[in-house]
Structure 1
Amino acid sequence: MVAVMLSGMRKSVQTELDEFFAHLKEQAQLVHHVSEQAFAKARAKLSTTAIPALNDWLVERADADGFVPRWRGRRLVAADASTLRFGRRASHVARAASADQIAFGLYLPGAEMMLAASLHSVHEGERQMLFQHLDRLSGADLLLMDRGYPSRWLVAALNARGVGFCMRVEKAGNAGFACVRDFLRDAADERIVTLAAPDRRDAADYECPATAQTVRLVRHVASTGKVRVLMTNLLDPVAFPAHEFGDLYHQRWRIEEAFKRLKHRLNLEHVSGLSQQAALHDFAAKIVCDNLQSLATGTVLREASLPPTRRINRAAAHSILKPLLPALLLGADIATRLLDALRLIAGRTYSHRPGIIKSKPRVARPKSHKFMNQKPC
């Protein structure tokens, strides 16, 4: 049952089950071996923490095997959230899933893997979601954040835990920190400043010291000419040069690409059930499925000598791996076929021009609902 979910369910449950057993038997014709109702009954007994625990084990193994690179001895972790609108239909299911939810994730840009991810109510803020995941971070990590996260209590909480961070802090008008506005008026490339202590109520709620915090501001001019201000608690200008923070912060964009990949290639918003439990299972399973594809492409990059102008086609990697996942996840002896698949992935590349960044402003528009009957055939 878990192997079926980890293979990346995008279609109707019955079609996915029939394809799974067809791939397991290495035949093209669909095999009707398990019914959709039996799958639903079995899944109802599965804990919602089982698949996230499997992802923790997978990331731990990947890190131990050297798939998670370091920047100056620190593991880069990007934090962000994305709006989800699950496919829906009218039902009377007990504890039905809300159609509108927020997906929060901690992402490893170098490994292209999701460290942790969770679903939240639309009434929760991104900073609150991040606070709930701070125990996943340590002093060996460097947290990358965008402009939705800066706050005095968050800086104090990260400093108290010894977690390094780099966040974008400049805001339009008179919004944001006064020290950041003063820094923008100056011509300096960097400056050490002191933030006021967080409110006592925030300090009590978020378990952080109610004391002033010393941080470092770094000016970065983007390729478009836009001036950004990055705040960090890495104060040593020799160990952490200011000119490296622009490229460092840019790696945060990988989590945006990850959410786009999950939504469009793995159909994250098409759920296989109507309950919140089913939504949690589908969400966690697709995170693991995407991480497995990242490990496969990472293995190819290790072995293949690709020129800097070529990149692995992740869409092709998904199509190549999906027929193999049933046997692979169930421990079948498919070493030869797996090597053939990795060679095939290595041959499916596209042209990439390093140093050329195409900036496309995001168009604000309402997010439409995807209905259950609009899944792929």
Structure 2
Amino acid sequence: MSNDNFKSRSKDGSKGAFTRVRKLPFEHLIVSMLTMGNSSLQREMDKFIREAHGREFNIRGITKSAFSQSRKQLKPEAFLELNELVCNEFYEGAPYLGYNNHRVLGLDGSRLLLPNSEDIAQGFGTVGYGPNADVQRSLATVSFLYDVGNYLTLDAQVAAQGGSEKSLLYKHLEKVKAGDLLLMDRGYPSKALLGILAGKGIEFCVRMKEDWWLQVNSFAQSNAVDSEVVFEPSDKDRKEYGAQYPEMKQKVKCRLVKVLLDNGLTEILCTSLLDTQKYPLADFKEVYHLRWGIEEGFKMFKSRVNIEAFTGKSAVSVKQDIYAKAMMMSLCAAFAFPIEQKVKAEYAANKDLKHPQKINRTTAYANTKAVAISMFLKSKIKQAIAAFDDIVYNTREIVRPNRKNPRNHRPKQQHYMNYKHI
């Protein structure tokens, strides 16, 4: 964070930004935004100053107005750069989990309700909202590229509500490497996309709608459970994507498989994993189920991290909050990985344990925030990691297999920024 080149890249271009050491230096600004809670902005700043300076009581070291002025000069993409650094360090140093030597990635998106403000309305637009769509509100579509086995958010993209998750997918592709296995739901596939992925050497497994393409519909109506087909991007696809993705293949050999779900329904998957010996049909139910990891990631992001409790009312602050929280989720996953593996190894070695256990990821995230100031601003890295490990290791939950609870659909409470938590 103290790297001059990183600091220079993170400025928004304002003259003199972060050139003088003030009450809230660049590194302190970054860490304060990473550790920001859901209380009021001033209370959060008082708490941060107390912890950063080792005081016993809260002090008014910086006002919320000064913080807001300072954050205006920070590019939201600074947190994406930090997130990339966290992910790269993890993959270089950890024996990360995957499938058949593939890193397994998931794609998904979600909608966020934004605060009411003129700046946000200009940046994200407004749409009709509510049961009768009679209230104008600003919404954002956020998309994650997520390592479903290791819980890292490799990339986050944000657009106004009019932006589709499929369009954001193409922005994620530069973070996907040849040999990765990309899991996608029914809204994503297109013949152009399959051609682009094949050209880049990216493996894929995507759920298909039975009535979209003739080959898929024919396969759905047949008795076959595993079949090879060839898809060809249309002339329109080649004209639209050919210049940007010259590697797009004109013919893509794919494998269609049928998977019987526990509820008796059959889903159709389209995959580039053609080797039936290396990738048997029996594997695909479990492989595609790994995509549920990104659903859990969004549950953490929206319900535990409570991303919609934004810390500002500008379009820039919205992106800063989203990218900062995504980065903290990745940092939490990297810190928690060795503890999770230790817990699994202990269960495998102890035959007296009735059920496996797992770490509590909400506790892990809370303690990532708790140690961040000591780690990044006081250089107490070993002490911070030791404290994190102790809490997370001793906060475990029992995994009870085959336990399923019916989903209870309830109206979402609309609290937003009306009243902040204490």
User: With structure 1 as the length reference, what TM-score do the two structures score?
Assistant: 0.90
* Partners of 2:268 and 2:403 in 1: CA distance: 19
Cα shift at 1:93? 7.3
68-77 vs 335-344, which moves further: 335-344
Cα shift at 1:362? 7.9
Cα shift at 1:78? 0.3
Which of 217, 221, 236 is the equivalent residue of 1:201? Answer: 236
C-alpha RMSD of the superposition: 2.3
Which of 278, 282, 297 is the equivalent residue of 1:258? Answer: 297
Aligned length: 370
Is 1:375 matched up with 2:411? Answer: no
Cα shift at 1:77? 0.8
Is 1:340 matched up with 2:358? Answer: no
Say which SS state the counterpart of residue 328 (structure 1) adopts. Answer: helix
**Uncovered stretches (5+) of structure 2, i.e. residues with no partner:** 1-28, 126-137, 348-354
2:10 is matched with none
2:338 is matched with 299
Which of 216, 221, 225 is the equivalent residue of 1:180? Answer: 216
Question: Which amino acid letter does the alignment assign opposite residue 236 of structure 1?
Answer: D
* Partners of 1:332 and 1:6 in 2: CA distance: 16
1:239 is matched with 278
Say which SS state the counterpart of residue 322 (structure 1) adopts. Answer: helix
Question: Which amino acid letter does the alignment assign opposite residue 224 of structure 2?
Answer: A
* Partners of 1:124 and 1:11 in 2: CA distance: 31
Which of 202, 213, 217 is the equivalent residue of 2:252? Answer: 213
* Partners of 1:226 and 1:93 in 2: CA distance: 43
Report if aligned partners of 1:106, 1:116 keep a CA contact under 8 Å in 2: yes
Quote the sequence identity (%): 26
* Partners of 2:198 and 2:284 in 1: CA distance: 19
Report if aligned partners of 1:14, 1:35 keep a CA contact under 8 Å in 2: yes
**Uncovered stretches (5+) of structure 1, i.e. residues with no partner:** none
Is 1:58 matched up with 2:86? Answer: yes
Is 1:311 matched up with 2:358? Answer: yes
* Partners of 2:266 and 2:251 in 1: CA distance: 27
1:70 is matched with 98
Which of 110, 128, 131 is the equivalent residue of 2:167? Answer: 128
Say which SS state the counterpart of residue 154 (structure 2) adopts. Answer: strand
Question: Which amino acid letter does the alignment assign opposite residue 320 of structure 1?
Answer: N
2:65 is matched with 37
* Partners of 1:238 and 1:210 in 2: CA distance: 25
88-97 vs 17-26, which moves further: 88-97
Cα shift at 1:193? 1.2
1:271 is matched with 310
Is 1:358 matched up with 2:404? Answer: yes
Alpha-carbon distance change, 183 to 111 in structure 1, aligned in 2, over 3 angstroms? same
24-33 vs 143-152, which moves further: 24-33
Cα shift at 1:198? 2.3
282-291 vs 2-11, which moves further: 2-11
Report if aligned partners of 2:120, 2:315 keep a CA contact under 8 Å in 1: no
Alpha-carbon distance change, 201 to 46 in structure 1, aligned in 2, over 3 angstroms? same
* Partners of 1:265 and 1:366 in 2: CA distance: 18
Report if aligned partners of 1:200, 1:210 keep a CA contact under 8 Å in 2: no
* Partners of 2:406 and 2:230 in 1: CA distance: 35
Cα shift at 1:287? 0.5
1:168 is matched with 207
Cα shift at 1:17? 1.3
Cα shift at 1:306? 4.4
* Partners of 1:279 and 1:128 in 2: CA distance: 20
Say which SS state the counterpart of residue 105 (structure 2) adopts. Answer: strand
* Partners of 2:85 and 2:387 in 1: CA distance: 26
Say which SS state the counterpart of residue 295 (structure 1) adopts. Answer: helix
1:290 is matched with 329
* Partners of 1:187 and 1:219 in 2: CA distance: 10
Is 1:115 matched up with 2:154? Answer: yes
Alpha-carbon distance change, 367 to 353 in structure 1, aligned in 2, over 3 angstroms? closer
2:50 is matched with 22
* Partners of 1:72 and 1:235 in 2: CA distance: 13
210-219 vs 253-262, which moves further: 210-219
* Partners of 1:78 and 1:362 in 2: CA distance: 25
* Partners of 1:111 and 1:142 in 2: CA distance: 14
2:32 is matched with 4
* Partners of 2:182 and 2:119 in 1: CA distance: 42
Report if aligned partners of 1:68, 1:108 keep a CA contact under 8 Å in 2: no
Question: Which amino acid letter does the alignment assign opposite residue 233 of structure 1?
Answer: S
Say which SS state the counterpart of residue 69 (structure 2) adopts. Answer: helix
* Partners of 2:78 and 2:367 in 1: CA distance: 27
Alpha-carbon distance change, 136 to 90 in structure 1, aligned in 2, over 3 angstroms? closer
Cα shift at 1:335? 2.3
Alpha-carbon distance change, 121 to 93 in structure 1, aligned in 2, over 3 angstroms? closer
Say which SS state the counterpart of residue 84 (structure 1) adopts. Answer: strand
Question: Which amino acid letter does the alignment assign opposite residue 191 of structure 1?
Answer: S
